[in-house]
A and B are shown apart, each in its own frame.
Chain A
């Protein structure tokens, strides 16, 4: 068993493009849940329309890549409006139900037979990312420190996604330290109180839903660029729940919570996978087949969440004092 190898792979995953993409989506979820108190259980829906926004624009409609990315943003914003207009005037739980259902309905719509001319149906879309890697300014080669290394294309994507993360963090921090953010947090605590003070809670919730949704959509677009092919069935509901687990692990309503959560979670997940795999290959663990490792991973995430909520409900960097405040 090569522990160094396991460590290297885990670090590569923790700082790699996929973790960065999850960070971006988790920042959106943090705006929704952490700051505004919106229960969005369909962040994967925003990622789906974002991914298809760029893929469909470039393949089906032959548009340039930048227009595709713009389409991703617009699609996410439209989805937020469609979700928000009927539900945001109602109690918080309606948004939760609507988001989880709509995300799943969207997946089924995008994979449906009749949608095939546009979305490619179950086969999805591919070869739309050439424009992105074509403008890669990083010369080909391998970059990294020690055993941790990335190809030029990976590094290019990492620069872009972590750049987006930095921008999203900057925007979020600026907003949350402004009077706008104060109203948003007030809505999380008690919407009626905020309304009684002359603030239109509906408009604020809508703005929050759109902003967080756009970050989710951009994360989806980055998934598309990372994989260079997408199918609807990778946008399953569990993506949303991974995001929730990561956000709660990092600490909701904290600027760095949605950054730390996915990074730590991807590190642990990969280390767990790799460890089990090497143990399985050494035949030390009885009854464990390599094919079962994926299922064990879900159990591991579940266990981690339970322990987290029992022993550290505020997440890694949350404020315990704030958690323990009597909310009544």
Chain B
């Protein structure tokens, strides 16, 4: 995206408000937040000899959009998987809404109100869009093996869920597609469906793994609006993304991961001017004509 895209990013106009949300928080790695919804310490995960994630301390402020960025292989998705119970940590503990999540499996984490999406969209392709939504509704009475036979018991709840699903589908402009197979949707529509579906769970925090990947620019726009709308309704958003314009535009707070560690944290403006971040993205020998020798000396440490 070019520089003019900043004008159309909805969050950009609100940078003032966004900055307020994180007022008084020091832009340094591991900084404590005034009202953290998620707190993680000493999260470590290695694959063979490679340490994929080694996060000393990380907090996510409630009611904000926090972006998790970093170069390829920085461990963003691995950290996502660890926090949501889709992978096991080697060490570390983390709490969501002050409840320990260590060792909880993925479905239990989701039931706590921390719902994730996936980098490679996981639409349930041979099910209708509406069924995709209904599946996600929490605490369904007809969900148990024996409860399933007691249709009169769950009929009313099913109707209520259907109503809520239709409201969400309308909001994401998928209501006309409700009876289509999810597999017939375009890539962008699947991203929308996945986001809508995660909201069916009624989460207090959504974790979006590259929500904009492979989505055309027009739809990026609408996705961004949905994400900011979510925050404005009080849902905390943590998302992984590569597109810098997008991140700078809508994030209240940015966490930069490189080689598994948090190397920087801060408001978009702090990150934009952070040398370590630039180094991590572009390598240490960028633009400065004589930067090579100095950086090489540094690089050995």
Binding partners A and B: yes
A 271-328 contacts with B by CB, 8 A: 321-322, 325-328
B106 touches A325 (CB 8 A): no
B 119-152 contacts with A by CB, 8 A: 122-127, 131-132, 134-138, 140-145, 147-149, 151
B191 shortest CB reach to chain A, Å? 13
B151 touches A189 (CB 8 A): no
B145 touches A195 (CB 8 A): no
B105 touches A195 (CB 8 A): yes
For A185, give its contact among B123, B127, B147 (CB under 8 Å).
Answer: B127
B86 CB-CB contact with A under 8 Å: yes
A207 CB-CB contact with B under 8 Å: yes
Chain B binding surface SS class: helix
B125 touches A199 (CB 8 A): no
For B143, give its contact among A179, A189, A193 (CB under 8 Å).
Answer: A179
A195 touches B107 (CB 8 A): yes
Q: Which residues on the B side are within 8 Å of A62 (C-beta)?
A: none
B107 touches A189 (CB 8 A): no
CA distance A328 to B141 in the complex (A): 31
B142 touches A180 (CB 8 A): yes
B134 touches A182 (CB 8 A): yes
A130 CB-CB contact with B under 8 Å: no
CA distance A284 to B115 in the complex (A): 70
User: What number of residue pairs across chains A and B have CB atoms under 8 A from each other?
Assistant: 121
Q: Which residues on the B side are within 8 Å of A326 (C-beta)?
A: 125, 183-184
B198 CB-CB contact with A under 8 Å: yes
B158 CB-CB contact with A under 8 Å: yes
B158 shortest CB reach to chain A, Å? 7
- With A185-B126, A198-B111 given, name 17 new contacts (CB 8 A): A178-B147, A179-B143, A180-B142, A182-B135, A185-B124, A189-B126, A189-B127, A192-B118, A195-B105, A196-B84, A196-B198, A197-B200, A198-B201, A321-B181, A325-B125, A327-B126, A328-B125
Residues of A in contact with B (beta carbons under 8 Å apart): 174-175, 178-183, 185-186, 188-190, 192-201, 207, 211, 321-322, 325-328
Residues of B in contact with A (beta carbons under 8 Å apart): 84, 86, 105-108, 110-111, 115-118, 122-127, 131-132, 134-138, 140-145, 147-149, 151, 154, 158, 181, 183-184, 197-198, 200-201
